[in-house]
C-alpha cells in the first residue's frame, strides 16, 4: 500500500508566517491528487514538507502508516519534478537520468540498463548523449521526469512541472505524465496554479487558499458542487458568473445586484424565493453554459422556474464550435455561451435567463447554501 496521509499539518516559517494551516488529507495508492490554488497559497510548502525539504511545524505525515516527519528526504522514496527542471548542465541526458543511481554507487552496468529502459519509456533514447542546453524545454522536462522515475519511487511529487512550457506542449505533457503515472502505478501529488491542469489531470483535486484546504473532491464534484464561492470562482473557464446583492424590499420576486445594477426577476418557485428572502445579502452563481439568451429559445423554456435579466452585450468571441457573449451588469463583465452561428453582436440588448436548479447560492461569508432548489 503506497498511500499518503497528512494529519493536521501546519507550517510556520521562521518569520512566524503561517503558510499552511492544519491540513488533513489522504492520497490513496495509485491516486493522482492535484493541489491547486493561487500563487502564494502554500502549495509548494505543502509539497516540500511531504518531500522532506521543509520541516513540519506541527502535525503528522505518514507514508503507508509510517510516521515520516523526521525521516531524511533521501530516505523517503519520493521522486520529485520541479518547474525549473533542476538538471545538471555539465552532465549528458544519460548522466542526468542516471544521477540518482550513480550517487548511490550502483553498478555501472545496472545504471546503463535502467537508463536505457527509462529513456525508452519517456521517448529520449535518441538524445542520451546531449547536454541540457541542447534540448528543448519539453525534452528537458522529460529528462527531469526520467530522473524522478529511474529509482521507481513509491511517490511522485510534481511542483508546477509544466509552467515553463508553451501551451501546446503543456497539453501533450499532461497526457504523458498521466500515462506514465498510470503505467508505473505510482501515487502522485501534483502542484499547479492552473485550474485546467487540475481539472484534466487529477483523480481528485484539493483546492487551497491562504494555506487552508477549501475542498477535496473529484473534478466533476468540484465543478458542479463547489463548497464555497472561492472554489466556484477558481475552478472553471470562463469563470462562473457571480451576482452579489439582495432581494428587493419592494418587490419580493426581484433580486438587485450590488444595490443599483442588474435586476433579476424570478418566475415561479415560491419556496426558492422564500429561502432567498430569509438572507440579507448573498451571491448567485451561474456557469456560462447555464445562461441562456432567451430570444434564441423556443417558448417552451419560458414555462420553467427561471430567473431572468436584461443586459447589453459588450463583445462576442467566436471560438469555433461556439461563441462567448460578454455582457456587463452592476459588478463586472459576465459571460454566456451560445452557438457559433448566433446573430448576437456587441451593443445588442438581450434577455438572459437561467433555471433555479442551475444556480448556486452563497451566503455573505461565501459559503454555499445547499437546498433542494439549487
Long-range contacts of 179-185 (CB under 8 A, 24+ apart): 180/121, 180/122, 180/145, 180/149, 181/32, 181/156, 183/121, 184/149, 184/152, 185/29, 185/30
Cβ closer to ligand ADP: 43 or 337? 43
Nearest approach, Cβ of residue 42 and ligand ADP (Å): 4
Nearest approach, Cβ of residue 211 and ligand ADP (Å): 7
Asked if 55 is part of the footprint of ligand ADP (rule: CB under 6 A), the reply reads no
The span of 12-20, 80-88, 270-278, 299-307 binding ligand ADP (CB under 6 A) equals: 12-20
Asked if 15 is part of the footprint of ligand ADP (rule: CB under 6 A), the reply reads yes
Residues binding ligand ADP: what is the number (CB under 6 A)?
A: 12
Asked if 43 is part of the footprint of ligand ADP (rule: CB under 6 A), the reply reads yes
> 150 to 169, contacts with ligand ADP by CB under 6 A?
none
As a three-state string, the secondary structure of 222-278 is: HHHCCCEHHHHHHCCCCCCEEEEEEECCCCCCEEEECCCCCEEEEECCHHHHHHHHC
Asked if 45 is part of the footprint of ligand ADP (rule: CB under 6 A), the reply reads yes
Among 1, 8, 17, 67, binds ligand ADP (CB under 6 A): 17
Asked if 299 is part of the footprint of ligand ADP (rule: CB under 6 A), the reply reads no
The sheet with strand 4-12 has its strands ordered as: 18-27, 4-12, 58-63, 66-67
Residues 316, 188: Cα–Cα separation, whole Å: 40
Asked if 19 is part of the footprint of ligand ADP (rule: CB under 6 A), the reply reads yes
Asked if 83 is part of the footprint of ligand ADP (rule: CB under 6 A), the reply reads no
The torsion angle over the Cα atoms of residues 187, 190, 195 and 201, rounded to 10 degrees, is -40
Query: Interface with ligand ADP by CB under 6 A: which residues?
Result: 13, 15, 17, 19, 37, 39-45
Amino acid at each position: 500500500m503506497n498511500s499518503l496521509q497528512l494529519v493536521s499539518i501546519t507550517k510556520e516559517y521562521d518569520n512566524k508566517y503561517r503558510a499552511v494551516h492544519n491540513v488533513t488529507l489522504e492520497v490513496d495508492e495509485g491516486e493522482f491528487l492535484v493541489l491547486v490554488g493561487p500563487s502564494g497559497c502554500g502549495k509548494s510548502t505543502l509539497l516540500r514538507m511531504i518531500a522532506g525539504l521543509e520541516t513540519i511545524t506541527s502535525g503528522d505525515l505518514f507514508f503507508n502508516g509510517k510516521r515520516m516527519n523526521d525521516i531524511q528526504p533521501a530516505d523517503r522514496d519520493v521522486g520529485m519534478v520541479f518547474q525549473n527542471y533542476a538538471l545538471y548542465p555539465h552532465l549528458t541526458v544519460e548522466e542526468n537520468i542516471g544521477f540518482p543511481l550513480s550517487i548511490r554507487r550502483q553498478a555501472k552496468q545496472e545504471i546503463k540498463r535502467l537508463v536505457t529502459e527509462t529513456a525508452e519509456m519517456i521517448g529520449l533514447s535518441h538524445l542520451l548523449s546531449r547536454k541540457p542546453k541542447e534540448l528543448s524545454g519539453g525534452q528537458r522536462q522529460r529528462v527531469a521526469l526520467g530522473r524522478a522515475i529511474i529509482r521507481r519511487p513509491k511517490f511522485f511529487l510534481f511542483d508546477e512541472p509544466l509552467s515553463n512550457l508553451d501551451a501546446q506542449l503543456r497539453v501533450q505533457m499532461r497526457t504523458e505524465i498521466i500515462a506514465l503515472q498510470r503505467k508505473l502505478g505510482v501515487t502522485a501529488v501534483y502542484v499547479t496554479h492552473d485550474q485546467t491542469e487540475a481539472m484534466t489531470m487529477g483523480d481528485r483535486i484539493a483546492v487551497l487558499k491562504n494555506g487552508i484546504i477549501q475542498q477535496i473532491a473529484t473534478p466533476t464534484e468540484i465543478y458542479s458542487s463547489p463548497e464555497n464561492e472561492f472554489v466556484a470562482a477558481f475552478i472553471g473557464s470562463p469563470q462562473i458568473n457571480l451576482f452579489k446583492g439582495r432581494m428587493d424590499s419592494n418587490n419580493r420576486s426581484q433580486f438587485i445586484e450590488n444595490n443599483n445594477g442588474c435586476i433579476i426577476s424570478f418566475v415561479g418557485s415560491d419556496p426558492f424565493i422564500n429561502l432567498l428572502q430569509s438572507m440579507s445579502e448573498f451571491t448567485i452563481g451561474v456557469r456560462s453554459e447555464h445562461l441562456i439568451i432567451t430570444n434564441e429559445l423556443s417558448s417552451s423554456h419560458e414555462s420553467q422556474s427561471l430567473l431572468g435579466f436584461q443586459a447589453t452585450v459588450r463583445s462576442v468571441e467566436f471560438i469555433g464550435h461556439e461563441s462567448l457573449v460578454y455582457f456587463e451588469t452592476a459588478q463586472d463583465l459576465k459571460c454566456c455561451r451560445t452557438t457559433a452561428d448566433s446573430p448576437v453582436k456587441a451593443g445588442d440588448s438581450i434577455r438572459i435567463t437561467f433555471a433555479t436548479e442551475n444556480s448556486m447560492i452563497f451566503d455573505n461569508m461565501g459559503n454555499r447554501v445547499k437546498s433542494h432548489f439549487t
